[in-house]
Structure 1
Amino acid sequence: FAFGQTGSGKTHTMIGPRLSRTGAMASLGSKQGHVSLVEPEDGVLPRCLAAAYAGIEHRSDTADFTVSASCVELYNEAVTDLLGEDKAKQLAVRKDERGSFRVDGLSQLTCKTT
């Protein structure tokens, strides 16, 4: 979660300069079963993904894993599904029966490969 004014460095902190420039989040993936190394300038998200996939790779002999992703933007109280087909559609945030927050209609994509 990143919060701040426009131009304050949220994308830089979360993604990092290398992936922000190219939009190449896919470059964090696996090459022949080995998780790519995270570069020193990479942000929080690439580091978390690399660590998660390293853990999955380490345990893949003993368990099955499914990885899915959602991505939302909250801007001026508007909630946008960044992975959805309709970027103009505004979504609502609600509390579920367990007291957790959820976004109605949020896309959840299954990651087919690391």
Structure 2
Amino acid sequence: MTKNAVRNLLAALIGLWFVGAPWLLGFSGHSGALWSSMGAGFIELAFSLLALGKTGWSSWQHWIAFLAGVWFMMMPFVFSFGLGMTFFILVLGVVTVLLNFYNMNAES
């Protein structure tokens, strides 16, 4: 398995985690945060899997997944999560952005 594939699968797992995060972290009662996390998580999951085997800056699948990671980084501030949850979600967003960045920067 290539490093690119491993990074895509890790990003996909982070996306899957964000789909379940509203229940795992206890914010399923907040409609905006619920749908935002589930929507962006599904986008991250789907486009990370679609990006398997693709590299380079022209890989639009990585760009979509990259933007989902940017949204993950913004979510805690948009929805005013507590400090611990903000840090945790922010770190996962940064990891998602970096995984997709490295895949776009990788040589085929």
TM over 0.5, yes or no? no
TM-score normalised by L of structure 1: 0.29
Larger relative strand fraction: 1
Larger relative helix fraction: 2
TM-score normalised by L of structure 2: 0.30
Q: Highest CA radius of gyration, 1 or 2? A: 1
Higher relative contact order (CA 8 A, sep 6+): 2
